[in-house]
Amino acid sequence: MNYWRLRKDKNALLRQAKQSQYRFPITSLRPCYSDRTDDAGSLSLHYFFQDLFVAQRIFKNAPLRHVDIGSRIDGFVAHLASFRSVEVFDIRPLEVNIPNVTFKQLDIMDRTCIKGNSIPSVSCLHALEHFGLGRYGDPINFEGFDIGFKNITSLLESSGKFYFSVPIGLQRIEFHAHRVFSLSLLIEMISPFYTIDMFSYVDDQNNFHPNEQLTDELIKNNYHCRYGCGIFELTKK
């Protein structure tokens, strides 16, 4: 069906080309069958909602300095760079110079790479779930997420803000793509070091729920998510 549609449309275009003053030769075929039935714009909704929402929160809170660790350059970091400077730490290199972005290549699991208690505002969005799984060239470390979380906490100054998101649901590793975290474990990790200012999430149907009340029952069932996205705004104790 798609082949015959492509052939019909190409022939119509060639007929019109003969009557046109412009020269655009068809040099190859590159079918994009799904675009006609997709929604307007193709969105990865975990990233879309978290990137927009957290950028708005940082705009509102206006820290003097902000560091991002491992979030998407073409999403969240681009949002921030549109209105402020941002420092980016990532284990992979960045070969492009981007206005308002200062880049440093490092492995946040390596404690020797960082200077503690020095940064007022840090983000790590949809990244911590990868630490230690080797997907991005990082060393295999089963507890890499915990090491990374504690090292990020060490980076922050007292009362500093941490904007943080990971997949939530039944706890598991889908190797070597990512981990999925139970909310119970996340609360256990967070509680000794932070107060929770705000919890938001994207559910399995890609609906965004900002500033939700955390309750014991909903924490236990992970807000009914199998693969959701939990988004935290935290203040270091």
**Integer Rg of the chain from CA:** 22
Mean pLDDT of all residues in 94-99: 94
Between 24-38, 164-178, 201-215, the lowest mean confidence (pLDDT) is in 24-38
Indicate the DSSP class of residue 127: -
Q: To which H or E segment does residue 145 belong?
A: helix 144-155
Indicate whether 42 pLDDT > 50.
Answer: no
Question: Are the C-beta atoms of 61 and 234 separated by less than 8 Å?
Answer: no
Indicate whether 39 pLDDT > 60.
Answer: no
- With cut-offs at 50, 70 and 90, classify the pLDDT of residue 232: very high
Question: Mean pLDDT for the chain?
Answer: 92
Q: Calculate what percentage of the chain has a pLDDT beyond 90.
A: 81
Write the pLDDT tens digit of every residue in 140-152: 999 999 999 999 9
Indicate the DSSP class of residue 229: E
For the chain, list the domains and their CATH numbers: 2-36 (no CATH), 45-236 (3.40.50.150)
Q: Does the bond joining 176 to the residue before it have cis omega, within 30 degrees of 0?
A: yes
Nearest CA-CA partner of 178 in 139, 134, 222: 134
pLDDT for 41: 45
Indicate whether 109 pLDDT > 80.
Answer: yes
Coil, helix or strand for 151?
helix
- With cut-offs at 50, 70 and 90, classify the pLDDT of residue 157: very high
Q: Does the bond joining 224 to the residue before it have cis omega, within 30 degrees of 0?
A: no
Cα 158–159–163 angle (5° rounding)?
115
Question: Are the C-beta atoms of 134 and 140 separated by less than 8 Å?
Answer: yes
Burial class, 160, CB count within 10 angstroms (exposed 0-12 / middle 13-18 / buried 19+): buried
In this predicted model, which residue has the larger pLDDT, 116 or 228? 228
Task: Round to whole Å and give the CA distance between 16 and 154.
Answer: 64
Mean pLDDT of all residues in 184-191: 98
pLDDT for 158: 95
